[in-house]
Structure 1
Amino acid sequence: TVENINWHLEQGKEIEDAIMDGARQIVIPATVSLLCICIVFVPMLGLGGVAGYLFRPMGEAVVFALVGSYILSRTLVSTLSRYLLGAQTGHGGSHSHARGPLGRFQHGFETRFENLRAAYRELLRASSSRPRLFIIGFLGAVALSFGLAPFLGRNFFPSVEASQIKLHVRAPTGTRIEETAYLSEKIEQAIDRIVPSSAVASIVDNIGLPISGINIAYGNSGTIGAGDVDILISLQPGEEARAENYVEQLRERLPRLFPGASFAFLPADIVTQILNFGAPAPIDIQIVGAKLNENRSYAEKVFKRVARVPGVADPRIQQAANAPTLNVDVNRALALDVGLTEKDIATSMQDTLAGSIQSAPTFWLNPKNGVSYPIVVQSPQYWMSDLGALKNLPVTAGQAQQIVGGVAAISRAQSNAVVSHYDVQPVIDIYATTHERDLGAVAADIRKIMDDSARDVPKGSRVVLRGQVSTMTAAYEQLYVGLGLAVVLIYLLIVVNFQSWLDPFVIISALPAALAGIVWVLFATHTTLSVPALTGAIMCMGVATANSILVVSFARERMAEGVDAAEAALDAGFTRFRPVSMTALAMIIGMAPMAFSAEQNAPLGRAVIGGLSFATIATLFFVPVVFKLVHSPLRNPRQEPRLEGNARKADVSR
């Protein structure tokens, strides 16, 4: 608005006339631009799942901010221009430059900017002199840029430089908790030798946490028994950038130092944990079915192939097998003879070994403080030192009394340490993360393995790829479909406004250049394609469309005044050079801190900077040339009535 008012002031108009004419001239382009930008954010508003929770508020904030700024530009900005710009104009609306350092700086800037505009006009004139050659060359460069897209890679969300390292250690199945604690101590000593002590703030170990509702709330590592350890390494401030380097060293050296244990690095930041849906890894291959033994054999075959996939790190089968167990086979005939059931025997053993809280929770209320305390009865663990002690456990039920050995036989065996379930059905999980390769490429190789081994899946079972991979795939599909629909809606909206099928095509012709710029910047900065980058692409396309509308609408106005298409396109580019470049530069500068940061939204800023830079070049050069090429063979539909009307007026005057 301000720039257009200034342009009218430069034409010699009074301040009031300049404000009214300037606001009236761009009200339709500004409204259409607002609607176009809001439309491109529709895909974000339709995102579901975790991606929706992360990006839908941002889309809503942008839309509401744009609506508010549009209202202010139509009201407050125009009003303030009367008082602030009026003091800068002299008689006849001409500018009077202020004195002093700021005035000299403004005068020098305006002089250099006008020189830049004059040079741009000559470049545009040269480009439009051979429009077909220029368009073919421009489109060829854009097409070649898209050839870099397959090399970008795909991730759902970029990794963040966290100040913590979370390591999960699993000792050999059946390791007692005392041995696990000793192993944890040795691993800590190895960590001290690998990671400089000056970089470590603290190390916390959680050893042998069994599965329970409370422990699940405190961690997502999937701890299943006494042989599991979670090691949380907190780094000193300023060491975040080196965290990934420390992880690489630990991943390489710890398995060699402790060959009997397995190691897996877990996401330490809350965003990645949310994106993983609480799973300890972004890739989760689930074998679902009731045939646990057959599914286990199939999982081990798939695991060996997955471990060899380039870019896969920390692969493991989550559910440990071959855990030492004791089977208690009850002789039902003997038990019935003494008046006992299998439930009586199981309850008595459970109370003795795990405590009465499991079968008969009892609480004592302290009358002084009102706090309830659980009362648990349990045999001392040192009493249960061998099978003989287990066989001598008393079993009571009413008047019946017996020992376990009198009604049951106890034998040693091996079984799964835990049986996980998903939607009621038993599952076996193969977890894996990525290292030095994007998630999309790794997931594609894993899908090939799943397809190749589909014939070996046990009958009645199925294999499902879950985790962050499935969420990423769904989010990408929603964004791609939504973005395509948004482009179609933008085209139809401009068609209705301009009453033309060709001019909307001219406007959106700058969008391929925006996509090419995004590809170039992501490739140059080694940034993978992600949902934040796609969000930046959406923002960039909205602004690029708005700038193109300004250029094309002005060119149409010039043609309506009787100017030919070539001169109208040249005048539109020259006149709209300042608002287009100013809008793009303001957004690029605003996104620069985000783009150069190490945060998870850095791809968004980089995509906006790259896409808007290329889109601005396309808006200032490609769009005017295409406009000239499209309109040159056609007769101006508005010019003819105007000329006829002028002829009639001339006849009447005669």
Structure 2
Amino acid sequence: MLFSVFVSFMVTPWAAVRLLHRSLTPQRAYRNLFARGPFKRRVAEKQPAPHSAHHHETWMDRLYRRIMRPLIVRPVYRYGFLCGVTLLLLASCMLVPLKLVMVKMLPFDNKSEFQIIIDMPEGAPLEQTAAVARDIAEYVRTVPEVTDIQTYIGTASPYNFNGLVRHYFLRRGGNVADLQVNLAPREARTRQSHDIAKAVRPNVQAIAERFHARIKVAEAPPGPPVLQTLVAEIYGPNYSRQMELARQVRDIFDRTAGVVDVDWYVEDDQTKYVFAVDQEKAALNGVSVAHVQTTLQVALDGMNTGLAHFPKEKEDVPITLRIARAQRSSLEDLKAIKVQGRQGNSVSLGELVRIEEVVQDKSIYHKNLMPVVYVTGDVAGAAESPVYAMLSLMPGVGAIKLPEGYAFEQRLTTQPPTMEKFAMKWDGEWHITYEVFRDLGIAFAAVLVLIFMLVVGWFQSLKTPFVILAAVPFSLIGILPAHWATGAFFTATSMIGFIAGAGIVVRNSIILVDFIELRLTQGMPLAEAVVDAGAVRFRPMLLTAAAVVVGASVILSDPIFQGLALSLMAGEVASLLLSRMAVPILYYLLMRR
């Protein structure tokens, strides 16, 4: 920025004098070069004030003057134009609550892969999980854009963005599986990866339901670094009651249209058999409790007894001692295992233990030292933004009745301060979206305050900055309809484009106001000065907008930066057309007295 200022103030005037000498006389070049600063008064004394420049105008300038003069002179036209601009701005902003423009943190990218996560009920055998993965893989192979599939059963797939953010790399056990689906290059297919993933989800879900499995179709990258697109966190004083409330919330997720891949961080009930050693019988048979524990550990988990050294192996191979699977597959098999006492006698485990059937304890998750139950989901309906899915879910969640006698509180941005009452916090992509747009809004407000202070210092007026900054919202008249026309999400990159374009809008307004005041110092009447500014300074404003449009057009086709391009292009075009007329009118209204 500093280098561009140096070029515009030093290099450009020098180059204009040197290179444009054929089209400019030395006197005109001198006057154009020193028309500002300490030389302005001296040059103005030598040259009469140019009240008009009609002999250099184009048909666009003449048309502009013909339109602007009635707007300045006639109050009906003037206020009618300002009311029309205000209505356009309100109508553009209404596109968001009407869901014609969707607000989202980041748009969907077009990658060459996606992932299918399979979760069987806890305790399901590895063979059944493999059968589910095989059936899903056979269906996915029928999709034309799919080139190959890797299946990982009982373990996690190699590290990727999904695994790091959503903790998939921690998955282990016979009830889990991952399918890594690779697609053809984007140049060789017409559908984006998001459309393909969205299309295969219903059939994959139907296959999973036959086996009572839950699946998640995860795109890479899935978006912001969150656990899932939709996350409901249930807090409270009793973890069992938290799980009951989480089950109700999960059922609401399942019933809500557009919410898919619903799951929760609670294991299914698993039967656990506790072998309680009868110490009196064990003592009579000369068997210690530790001996019984070691025998069961060897039978079920095995025991490393040493290392085998093979000449063709790079590393030593561990030797694990374990009873054959056929002899440890049922309780009767385990009860028949013999244990040797101190006197050399053999006694079966069934004579020494008492088997108790209980439910295995479930995992307890914590967030900021508070016990929490997570309910997760994704969005894949007409409104693929978590904000609108939350609006559909909140009435159902709010209708949950607590026997404790108080309302089930829903919090949007912060955790409950205590665990005394049951409450729920919305998290996931919504929380990141809220924080990003909140921080961008605060930064934008701070920038506007700084611009206001700078303009006040430069123009020595408290009225002028309001005229200059009034043109900033005009860009929304172009930005929001452009997102609606192209079907694009209004994302964080769109907001960044709006903020970046606001700087150019302010620059155009400053150009107009500065030229108006220059004409006023040269003796031109206010009504003529405001019209003359829009006519004469339109060309640099037009060239600036054209440069922005051309520069942003190269990223218009990118899925991530499309919002940035739309905001810059449509915002600059709209503000150029409207600020050229609105700023002079507002300046005239404030300064005419």
Using the size of structure 2 for normalisation, the TM-score is 0.79
Matched residue, 1:531:
492
Matched residue, 1:125:
69
| CA drift at 1:366 | 10
2:140 equivalent among 185, 191, 212? 191
Query: Cα gap change, 1:213/1:83 in structure 2, threshold over 3 Å: closer, same or farther?
Result: closer
Matched residue, 2:102:
153
1: distance between equivalents of 2:496 and 2:73? 37
| CA drift at 1:309 | 2.4
CA contact (8 A) 1:156 1:472 kept: yes
Query: Cα gap change, 1:122/1:327 in structure 2, threshold over 3 Å: closer, same or farther?
Result: farther
| CA drift at 1:93 | 4.7
| CA drift at 1:573 | 1.2
SS at match of 2:8: helix
Matched residue, 1:614:
574
CA contact (8 A) 1:163 1:240 kept: no
CA contact (8 A) 1:311 1:434 kept: yes
Matched residue, 1:114:
58
- Establish whether residue 203 from structure 1 lines up as the match of residue 154 from structure 2: no
Query: Cα gap change, 1:325/1:519 in structure 2, threshold over 3 Å: closer, same or farther?
Result: same
- Establish whether residue 266 from structure 1 lines up as the match of residue 217 from structure 2: yes
| CA drift at 1:517 | 2.1
- Establish whether residue 250 from structure 1 lines up as the match of residue 196 from structure 2: no
1:429 equivalent among 371, 374, 382? 374
SS at match of 2:83: helix
Alignment of 1:496-645 (within 5 A): 496-595=457-556, 597-633=557-593
CA contact (8 A) 2:117 2:218 kept: no
| CA drift at 1:351 | 5.4
Matched residue, 1:329:
276
**Structure 2: 5+ residue stretches without partners:** 31-54, 409-418
2: distance between equivalents of 1:372 and 1:494? 76
2: distance between equivalents of 1:625 and 1:515? 20
1:409 equivalent among 349, 354, 369? 354
2:114 equivalent among 165, 172, 178? 165
Q: CA-atom RMSD, angstroms?
A: 3.9
SS at match of 1:249: helix
| CA drift at 1:413 | 4.5
Query: Cα gap change, 1:408/1:607 in structure 2, threshold over 3 Å: closer, same or farther?
Result: farther
| CA drift at 1:486 | 2.5
Paired amino acid for 2:193: A
| CA drift at 1:394 | 7.5
Paired amino acid for 2:377: A
SS at match of 1:326: strand
SS at match of 2:141: helix
- Establish whether residue 182 from structure 1 lines up as the match of residue 139 from structure 2: no
Alignment of 1:434-449 (within 5 A): 434-435=379-380, 436-437=382-383, 438-449=385-396
Alignment of 1:298-377 (within 5 A): 298-331=245-278, 340=288, 349-350=296-297, 352-356=299-303, 376-377=320-321
CA contact (8 A) 2:197 2:217 kept: no
| CA drift at 1:510 | 0.7
| CA drift at 1:494 | 1.1
| CA drift at 1:623 | 0.4
Q: Which moved more, 1:392-401 or 1:287-296?
A: 392-401
Paired amino acid for 2:527: A
Per-residue CA shift, 1:324-348, capped at 9, x if unaligned?
A: 4333334566678868567x76566
Per-residue CA shift, 1:389-437, capped at 9, x if unaligned?
A: 3345678999999975455433444446755444455543211111121
Query: Cα gap change, 1:373/1:173 in structure 2, threshold over 3 Å: closer, same or farther?
Result: closer
| CA drift at 1:300 | 1.5
| CA drift at 1:349 | 4.1
1:388 equivalent among 332, 357, 360? 332
Using the size of structure 1 for normalisation, the TM-score is 0.73
SS at match of 1:594: coil
2: distance between equivalents of 1:534 and 1:575? 32
Paired amino acid for 1:185: R
Query: Cα gap change, 1:167/1:509 in structure 2, threshold over 3 Å: closer, same or farther?
Result: same
Q: Which moved more, 1:243-252 or 1:402-411?
A: 402-411
Matched residue, 2:182:
234
Query: Cα gap change, 1:335/1:161 in structure 2, threshold over 3 Å: closer, same or farther?
Result: farther
SS at match of 2:256: coil
Paired amino acid for 1:157: L
SS at match of 1:166: strand
1: distance between equivalents of 2:147 and 2:576? 48
**Structure 1: 5+ residue stretches without partners:** 1-65, 96-110, 634-654
CA contact (8 A) 2:493 2:564 kept: yes
| CA drift at 1:310 | 3.2
CA contact (8 A) 2:205 2:215 kept: no
CA contact (8 A) 2:274 2:355 kept: yes
2: distance between equivalents of 1:242 and 1:213? 24
Paired amino acid for 2:67: L
1: distance between equivalents of 2:27 and 2:133? 84
Query: Cα gap change, 1:210/1:462 in structure 2, threshold over 3 Å: closer, same or farther?
Result: farther
| CA drift at 1:247 | 2.8
- Establish whether residue 494 from structure 1 lines up as the match of residue 465 from structure 2: no
Query: Cα gap change, 1:510/1:174 in structure 2, threshold over 3 Å: closer, same or farther?
Result: same
Per-residue CA shift, 1:549-607, capped at 9, x if unaligned?
A: 11111111211222221111112112211111111111112112322x14211111112
Identity across the alignment (%): 21
Q: Which moved more, 1:584-593 or 1:75-84?
A: 75-84
CA contact (8 A) 1:348 1:396 kept: no
Query: Cα gap change, 1:328/1:467 in structure 2, threshold over 3 Å: closer, same or farther?
Result: farther
Query: Cα gap change, 1:477/1:178 in structure 2, threshold over 3 Å: closer, same or farther?
Result: same
1: distance between equivalents of 2:104 and 2:522? 52
CA contact (8 A) 2:112 2:184 kept: yes
CA contact (8 A) 1:153 1:440 kept: no
Paired amino acid for 2:583: V
SS at match of 2:174: coil
Paired amino acid for 2:444: L
Paired amino acid for 2:119: R
Paired amino acid for 2:175: G
| CA drift at 1:513 | 1.1
1: distance between equivalents of 2:347 and 2:6? 86
2: distance between equivalents of 1:70 and 1:398? 95
CA contact (8 A) 2:156 2:177 kept: no
| CA drift at 1:364 | 9.0
SS at match of 1:328: strand
Paired amino acid for 2:148: S
Paired amino acid for 1:265: K
Query: Cα gap change, 1:504/1:91 in structure 2, threshold over 3 Å: closer, same or farther?
Result: closer
| CA drift at 1:375 | 6.0
2: distance between equivalents of 1:154 and 1:236? 30
SS at match of 2:115: strand
| CA drift at 1:461 | 5.2
Per-residue CA shift, 1:271-313, capped at 9, x if unaligned?
A: x35x133x2x211112346744433222211111122223212
Q: How many residues align?
A: 541
Q: Which moved more, 1:556-565 or 1:376-385?
A: 376-385
CA contact (8 A) 2:261 2:377 kept: yes
2: distance between equivalents of 1:402 and 1:461? 53
CA contact (8 A) 2:141 2:148 kept: no
2: distance between equivalents of 1:82 and 1:333? 110
